[in-house]
Every structure is written in C-alpha cells, then in structure tokens.
C-alpha cells in the first residue's frame, strides 16, 4: 500500500464547468497504483466539484442554467454581498454540490463511467485560479 | 493495511430509491477488515447515491416527490432532451445528491447510524442496470 | 501506512451550522500522519456536513436562510410528519448536502483552504447530540 498527492490549479473565466478528467487521470496513472482510491478535493467555498455527462455540451449549459435559476445572483434574501451579487449564490451552489469526490482505481484505470467526466464547477463571474488537491491510496 | 474492490449491479425499474445497505454491508464483512473506510461510487450521471432514513417508507416517497417538484421532468429551461423529458432532470438530480459516499468501518461493522440506509437514487423512468463500485481499505 | 478513528459528539441547539474544524484538525494532528486522507462521516439523516466560508458569519446565516426557503418546514408536499414540521425537510436538506467529506492531509496539515471551515449542519429545531466518525489513513 502506498499513496501520492498533487495539487493542481484550474484557471477559470466565469461561471461554468471546467473538465479536469484528463489531469486527474494522468495523475492516477503516474502513481502506478493498480487498485486503489483517488480523492479530489476543492479548496474553495465558491467553486465545487461535480461529475456530469461529458458527451453533449448542452448538459453542462443546462446544469449551469438550472443552478442560476435555483440560486439567482442578486437574490434579496442574502445579507452577505461583500464581493457582489454572485458572492453568496456561489457559496450556496458549492453547498448544493460537492467539495470532495472519491473515485476508485480498478486495473490501473480510474473507474469513471463511460459518460462521466469530473468537473470543477466555478460559481463566480470573475476569473479565478482554483486549487484542487488530488490524493491516491492503493497498491 | 489491505484493500478490496467489487462492482455490484442494481436493476432499477423507474424513479426512486433502491436500498443497497445489505449488499454493501456483506461486502464490507467479507473483506475481513476491522477498522477502515468503505467507499461506494456510482458510475452514472443520471443516478446517484444518498443516505436516508430506512424506517418509514414515506421518507423515500417524500424525498422523491421533493426532487420531482424541484427539478420537474419536461422543464422548458432544458435544451438537452435527447432521451426524453426525464433526461436532463436526471443529470441535475445527480449533481444535487452524491456520486461517492465514504462510510467508516468500526469494530468490523459499517458505521451507518441506527436509522441510516444507503440508497441508489434512480432518476430515470425506464429500467436500468446501474453499476456501483465498492472499495474498502483498512486492516 | 496506518490509520486512526474517533467518534466525536456535537451538541446542537436548533437549526444552523456548527463548526467542527478545530476538533477535526486536532484529531488529524494527534494521529501524527504527515500525508494522508481524513474522512468525516455524519451518522444521521436529519443533520449533515458542509464546507463553508468561516470568515463572515452572514454566510452561515444566508446559507441556513436559503435552505429554509428551498425546503420550508411544514411543506404540505410531505406525508412523513411524525416528528413535526421540520422532520421531512431535515431529511431533504441532508440529501442536498453531504453525509461524508474527505479532506487530504498535506505536510501534517489538513488541506482546508484559507476560508474553508467544516461544519455540522443541524436541520432539526430541537437540541440533538450528533455523532460524527473521523477516519484518517496515511503515513
């Protein structure tokens, strides 16, 4: 049993999904682990992680549209508006999705399903550099 | 320290919760691990995982009803409707719940609380065969 | 590679966020693990876990307010009302947030981001004693 860790940075340019499957897959493969568990962890509270369909780009568009309607920017319910109308909605969207996701490694391959992609979900309008820690344990 | 993995298939017949606690518990016990961590991972983007009360079936009915109202089938907001009115809502419901859940193993027993059950949450109307990967690490 | 486990109890007094970062950090440090993965697991279906901003208390107030509006107590949609108007909404809010969260340990420090705090999210109005299992694996 052994483990490996790596922090990657994702440059974002506005609200939306940014696929990180390839970077995560490359890290998993470079670890040489055949059987194990990979965990991705997002170090922010206004961006999060989500696994979604990676085939039709409309899925990503629709997902972003749904969250925008569910948690509208500028909602008068919110008191915390220090960083603008998309500040508090970003925190809520992060709470509604995931901060950490674990994916098994089977026969040296990340067990993502055929249509699954791993995405950073950026909830802020302005550009950000998002830090994601990858951890793998196995043998 | 050692680990084990297994993929299980859950046959679903429409939207709702399908309990997998027994299958997961059996796998954890068969691993012989006394202290460790079990991770369940759903390989789909139109079905997900959720831990819910396993006592009153009305809880499952109400949970499904809530998600159906929050993300209605046929919502005109959605562009991605290739597989029908329950296609995109299934992706959204998956994003709102969990793709992976980790449960500790303590004294050879899965640490599910007294009222907790682990469920596959099927978001599609038609029957599906859902793949869930179980991974356990410990000693 | 080694591991450690601990169950902590959080006394709650109504709906809201209860920060457990310090207790979790103390457990991670006491394990002596320099590189690894910490998992927190909530053993309930009417309370959950969430990572949120720990700087401005208004974030927590707004988050609670959003979930209260999204899943109102006493919603006539719900059949399961055995324990009162906040019973079923508590289960739904738990499903919408997280039951388990994994956080890497890097250079002996929990990889929480600068503004991240780990919280127990209590969804019931009456006081409860909530059990959270902490598990760490690494070296």
Chain B: list its partners (3+ Cβ pairs within 8 Å).
A, C
DSSP, collapsed to helix, strand or coil, labels residue B93 as: helix
Residue of C nearest to B102 (CA): C100
What local confidence, expressed as pLDDT, does residue B120 receive? 98
ipTM (interface predicted TM): 0.97
Contacts of A70 (CB under 8 A, 6+ apart): A96, B70, C70
Reading the block at residue B80, the tokens are: 């991605």
Tell me the chain B residues in contact with residue A58 when contact means C-beta distances shorter than 8 Å: 79-80
Cα B19 to Cα B32: distance, rounded to the nearest angstrom: 23
Strand partners, C110: C105
Candidates C59, C96, C103; nearest CB to A91 = C59
Would you place residue C38 in the very low, low, confident or very high pLDDT band (cuts 50, 70, 90)?
very high
* Residue tagged 């709102």 (tokens): B96
The string of pLDDT tens digits covering residues C40-89 is 999 999 999 999 999 999 999 999 999 999 999 999 999 999 999 999 99
Neighbours of chain C (3+ CB pairs under 8 A): A, B
Q: What is the pLDDT of residue A54?
A: 94
What count of residues does chain B have? 139
pLDDT of residue C49: 98
How many residues can be counted in chain A?
139
To the nearest whole number, what is the mean pLDDT of chain C?
A: 97
Do C38 and C118 form a contact (C-beta atoms < 8 A)? no
- CB-nearest partner of C99 from B51, B70, B96: B51
Q: Is C125 on the interface with B (CB under 8 A)?
A: no
**Given this model, what pLDDT does residue B40 score?**
98
Rounded Cα distance, A125 and A84, in Å: 10
C104-115 pLDDT, tens digit each: 999 999 999 999
Which string of DSSP letters, residue by residue, matches B11-77?
A: EEESSEEEE-HHHHHHHHHHTT-SSEEEEEEE--SSEEEEEEESS-HHHHHHHHHHHHHHS-TT-TT
Please report, for residues A122, B40, C55, the alpha-carbon distance to residue A68 in angstroms, rounded to integers and kept in the order given.
12, 30, 24
In this complex, the residue of C43, C91, C96 whose CB is nearest that of residue B59 is C91
Instruction: Encode chain A in three state secondary structure.
Output: CEEEEEEEEEEEECCEEEECHHHHHHHHHHCCCCCEEEEEEECCCCEEEEEEECCCHHHHHHHHHHHHHHCCCCCCCCCCCCCCCCHHHHHHHHHHCECEEEEEEECCEECCCCCEEEEEEECCCCEEEEEEEEEEEEC
Chain C residues near residue A98 by CB distance under 8 angstroms: 98
What pLDDT is stored for residue C11 in this prediction? 98
B34 vs C: CB within 8 A? no
For chain A (length 139 residues), average pLDDT per consecutive 10? 97 98 98 98 98 95 98 97 96 98 98 97 98 98
Question: Which pLDDT band, with edges at 50, 70 and 90, does C139 fall under?
Answer: very high
Pairing of strands A2-13, A127-138: antiparallel
Angle, nearest 10°, between helix axes C57-70 and C87-96? Answer: 120
pLDDT at C30: 97
Nearest CB partner across the interface for B41, out of A56, A98, A104? A104
- CATH code linked to domain B2-138: 2.60.120.460
Predicted local confidence at residue A49, as pLDDT: 98
CB contact under 8 A, C77 and B63: no
Residues of chain B with pLDDT under 70: none
pLDDT digits (tens, 9 = 90+) for B82-97: 999 999 999 999 999 9
pLDDT value of position B10? 98
Residue-level pLDDT at A48: 98
pLDDT of residue B16: 98
- Decide: helix, strand or coil at residue C98: strand
Tell me, yes or no, if C96 comes closer than 8 A to chain A by beta carbon. yes
Neighbour tally for B76: CB within 10 Å: 7
Interface test with B, best of C99, C131, C136 (most B CBs within 10 A): C99
């Amino acid at each position: 049993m052994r483990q490996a860790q790596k922090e990657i940075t994702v440059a974002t340019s506005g609200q939306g999904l940014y696929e990180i499957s390839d970077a995560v897959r490359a890290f998993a493969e470079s670890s040489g682990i055949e059987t194990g568990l990979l965990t991705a962890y997002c170090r922010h509270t206004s961006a999060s992680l989500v696994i979604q369909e990676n085939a039709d780009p409309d899925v990503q568009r629709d997902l972003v549209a749904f969250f925008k309607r569910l948690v509208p920017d500028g909602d008068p319910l919110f008191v915390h508006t220090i960083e603008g109308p998309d500040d508090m909605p970003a925190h809520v969207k992060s709470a509604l999705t995931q901060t950490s996701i674990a994916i098994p490694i089977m026969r040296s391959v990340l067990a993502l399903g055929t249509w699954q992609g791993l995405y950073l979900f950026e909830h802020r309008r302005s550009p950000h550099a998002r830090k994601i820690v990858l951890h793998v344990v196995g043998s």
